[in-house]
Amino acid sequence: MGRILAIDYGRKRTGLAVTDTLRITANPLLTVPTNELLIWLADYFRREPVDEVVIGHPTQLNGQDSESMTYIRPFINNFKKAFPNIKLTEFDERFTSTIAHRAMIVGGMPKMKRQDKSVVDKLAACIILEDYLSTIY
């Protein structure tokens, strides 16, 4: 069984999280510059078995797509062309960055580390993945 990888896509940075091979736990992986994401993914897919990718789908409180989808949609199309054999699932990501910030505060992370946006991005990806896993199991 392959891993599930989650993407918290951003204009500058993209947070990534991944399950273990048994798909029991979600773990923050790293943050990649968005302009290098497809190259990084191709390399990762060569090294690790990944069956599915979950990408955060940002929506507004009324359920409509957020403005961010204007730059996420082209990435989704490019992903599907580059990796036609990997299932891509869009998953609601409302409030994941806020939840990640709160988790860092509750966890006692020092303020300087909390200001590192790359940490927030990979934690947000992990929250997306945890939420997704809770819906399929």
Domains of the chain: 3-136 (3.30.420.140)
The region that residue 63 occupies, defined by phi over 0 for left and psi between -120 and 50 for alpha, beta otherwise, is: left
Structure tokens at 64: 């409509």
Q: Give the mean pLDDT per block of 10 residues along the chain (137 residues).
A: 95 96 95 98 97 91 81 97 97 68 61 66 90 89
